[in-house]
Amino acid sequence: MTRLLLAAGTAGVLAAAIALPLVGGAGLTVKSSTEALNLEPENLAEPPLKMLTILKDVNGKQIGQFYKEYRIPVGLDKVSKEMKDAIIAIEDYRFYEHGPIDIEGTARALLKNVTGGGVVQGGSSITQQYVKQVLVNSAATKAEAEAAIAPTLSRKLNELRYAMAIEEKYTKDQILEKYLNISYFGAGAHGIEAAAYRFFGVKAAKLSLVQAATLAAAVQKPVSTDPTLGNDAKGRLLDRRNLVLDTMVVRGKITQPQADEAKKAPLGYKNTRIPGGCEESKYPYFCFYVKNEILDNDDFGKTEKERLDFLNAGGITIQSTLDPKMQKASEKAIRNYVSKKDKPVASQAMIVPGTGEIRSMAASREYGLNAKKNQIAFNVVADKAHGGGRGFQQGSTAKVYTLAAALDAGMKLNDGNNTGRVYSVAPYPNRAFETCGGKATGGDAPHPVANSSEGGGGFKTLQTGTWGSVNTFFMKLEEQVGLCETVKMAKSLGIKRADGGKLEEVPTFTLGVNEMDPITVANSYAVFAARGVYCRPKAITSVTDRDGKVIKYGNKCKEVLDEEVADAVNSILSGVFTKGTMSGVGGINRDAAGKTGTTDGYTAAWFAGYTPDLASAVSIGDPRGAFKHDLTGVTIGGQYYQYVYGASISGPIWKQSMMEALKNVDKTSFFPVNSERFGGCSDYCAPKKPKKDKDDDDRGGGPRNPFDDIFGNPGEQEDSPDEGDF
pLDDT in tens, 389-428: 899 999 999 999 999 999 999 999 999 999 989 999 999 9
Whole-angstrom Cα distance, residue 579 to residue 452? Answer: 18
Residue 109, SS3? helix
In a domain, 220, yes or no: yes
Tens of pLDDT, residue by residue over 101-152, are: 666 666 555 555 555 444 434 458 999 999 999 998 888 778 888 887 887 8
In this model, does residue 10 exceed pLDDT 80?
no
In a domain, 93, yes or no: yes
Contact of 353 with 555, CB cutoff 8 Å: no
Whole-angstrom Cα distance, residue 101 to residue 163? Answer: 7
Q: Give the DSSP letter string of 623-678.
A: TT-TTTS-SEEEEETTEEEEE--TTTTHHHHHHHHHHHHTTTSPP-PPPPP-HHHH
Supply the pLDDT for residue 156: 82
How many CA atoms are closer than 13 Å to the CA of 293, on its beta-carbon side?
A: 22
Specify which residues 237 forms β-bridges with.
none
Whole-angstrom Cα distance, residue 584 to residue 718? Answer: 10
In a domain, 553, yes or no: no
> Residue 154: pLDDT band by 50, 70, 90 thresholds?
confident
Task: Provide the greatest CA pair distance for the chain.
Answer: 136
In a domain, 109, yes or no: yes
Supply the pLDDT for residue 123: 56
Backbone conformation region of residue 488, classed left if phi is above 0, alpha if psi is from -120 to 50, else beta: alpha
Tens of pLDDT, residue by residue over 494-551, are: 999 999 999 999 999 999 999 999 999 999 999 999 999 999 999 999 999 888 999 9
Give the DSSP H or E segment for 527: helix 518-529
In a domain, 258, yes or no: yes
In this model, does residue 300 exceed pLDDT 80?
yes
In this model, does residue 3 exceed pLDDT 50?
no
CATH number of the CATH domain containing 86: 1.10.3810.10
Tens of pLDDT, residue by residue over 614-660, are: 999 999 999 998 899 999 999 999 999 999 999 999 999 999 999 99
Tens of pLDDT, residue by residue over 74-85, are: 999 999 999 999
| Residue (of 227, 219, 240) closest to 200 by Cα position | 227
| Residue (of 566, 575, 547) closest to 489 by Cα position | 566
> Residue 699: pLDDT band by 50, 70, 90 thresholds?
very low
Residue 123, SS3? coil
Number of domains in the chain: 1
Whole-angstrom Cα distance, residue 50 to residue 67? Answer: 8
Specify which residues 392 forms β-bridges with.
516
Whole-angstrom Cα distance, residue 630 to residue 41? Answer: 72
Tens of pLDDT, residue by residue over 171-217, are: 999 999 999 999 999 999 999 999 999 999 999 999 999 999 999 99
Enclosing domain of residue 189: 69-263
Burial of 688 (0-12, 13-18, 19+ CB in 10 A): exposed
In a domain, 718, yes or no: no
In a domain, 380, yes or no: no
Supply the pLDDT for residue 16: 42
Whole-angstrom Cα distance, residue 69 to residue 86? Answer: 24
| Residue (of 386, 384, 358, 375) closest to 295 by Cα position | 386
Supply the pLDDT for residue 119: 40
